[in-house]
Amino acid sequence: MRVAKRDGTLEPVDLNKIVRAVARCAAGLENVDAMRVATRTISGLVDGATTEELDNLSIRTAAAFIAEEPNYSKLAARLLATVVDKEVQNQDIYSFSQSVALGSAQGVIGPETAAMVATHARKLNDAILPERNWLYEFFGLRTVYDRYLLRHPETRSVIETPQYFLLRVACGLSTSPEEAIEFYQLISSLDYLPSSPTLFNSGTTHPQMSSCYLLDSPEDNLDAIYDRYRDVARLSKHAGGIGLSYSRIRSRGSLIRGTNGLSNGIVPWLKTLDSSVAAVNQGGRRKGAACVYLETWHADIEAFLELKENTGDAARRTHNLNLSNWVPDLFMERVEQDWQWSLFDPKKVPNLVD
């Protein structure tokens, strides 16, 4: 049986090499049978498989045993870490500073971070602790690989290892190499991690690191509503989550004086927002996230509360938005006393919003 190397040449499969690779990663793990994983991997091989396919097969094989022994998660993560190292090294990247230099040349690393790393390359390279890759569980490292590591814009190969990634984040948040190393040592221990936007963007050309943005309701006119769509899309583009009110938008049946027609209410506008949030995902890494708030007195509150239902008219459902009913104390007092509650069109009572 032969395996295809990365340069396309074929060579006989070295079964002992597979066993040794799995055994190295299984060192120190209790109740993990490295030989079992290796033999199962070997039995799944096909002639002419690539070395990349072989590596992925060993990872999947180890992961398949997680349900019966949690330590196989560590083994799968360690196997994945070695694959990531190979992917990075195949681009002639053997140090943190080389990773940052390539990222800078490809326009994904910010100039300030690139300058700091170039100036203090030796100190920062020496700070890397590759053994901390072994702290990860499989799902955690798989998520880091799929979503967080920077990729070459053309080849889509990752250009940083998990430890390079964490030191890059630390450098983007620091003003000196000493500060960066101290922060790196903290986050690489996994005792603390910043929020996802910080992990996505720190040290890059788009250092947007805020997790959430709160926006006021757009004014009740066409230009303001579409301006808010644009605002939400731009914030979502770089991993910002959005919370916004729609309480100023007139309710269904309200008169539109400009056309002498009647409004369809907030639902069609939220349907458009729902599609926009799905289309403009967070930097290509995960779905966009937006939460829409509506006050309890709004005349469309009942239709609003039905937007997440799985049945009914699809044109009046928004499955990508999160929804929040903005409940005042007065409403709860009315509920407690079993008193009447009134609904209003915000066009007629604009001061209620303010």
Residues, the chain: 354
What is the pTM assigned to this prediction?
Answer: 0.84
Q: Report the alpha-carbon distance of residue 294 to residue 304 in Å, rounded.
A: 8
pLDDT string in tens for the chain (354-residue length):
777 777 677 888 778 888 999 999 999 999 999 999 999 998 888 888 888 888 999 999 999 999 999 999 999 999 999 999 999 999 999 999 999 999 999 999 999 999 999 999 999 999 999 999 999 999 999 999 999 999 999 999 999 999 999 999 999 999 999 999 999 999 999 999 999 999 999 999 999 898 899 999 999 999 999 999 999 998 888 778 899 999 999 999 999 888 889 999 999 999 999 999 988 876 667 778 899 999 999 999 999 999 999 998 888 999 999 999 999 999 999 999 999 999 999 999 999 887
- What's the total number of domains in the chain? 3
User: Do residue 80 and residue 53 come from a single domain?
Assistant: yes
pLDDT for the residue 284: 67
User: Do residue 67 and residue 130 come from a single domain?
Assistant: no
Domain boundary among 207, 239, 264: 207
User: Do residue 118 and residue 141 come from a single domain?
Assistant: yes
User: Do residue 265 and residue 338 come from a single domain?
Assistant: yes
User: Do residue 279 and residue 241 come from a single domain?
Assistant: yes
Domain boundary among 178, 207, 236: 207
Six-digit token string for 159: 């250009």
User: Do residue 65 and residue 37 come from a single domain?
Assistant: yes
User: Do residue 100 and residue 28 come from a single domain?
Assistant: no
* DSSP alpha helix (H) spans, the chain: 15-26, 34-43, 51-64, 71-89, 96-105, 111-119, 121-127, 138-143, 162-172, 177-188, 196-201, 222-237, 266-279, 301-305, 329-337
- Which residue range is the domain that position 252 belongs to? 212-352
Domain boundary among 36, 51, 85: 85
User: Do residue 59 and residue 105 come from a single domain?
Assistant: no
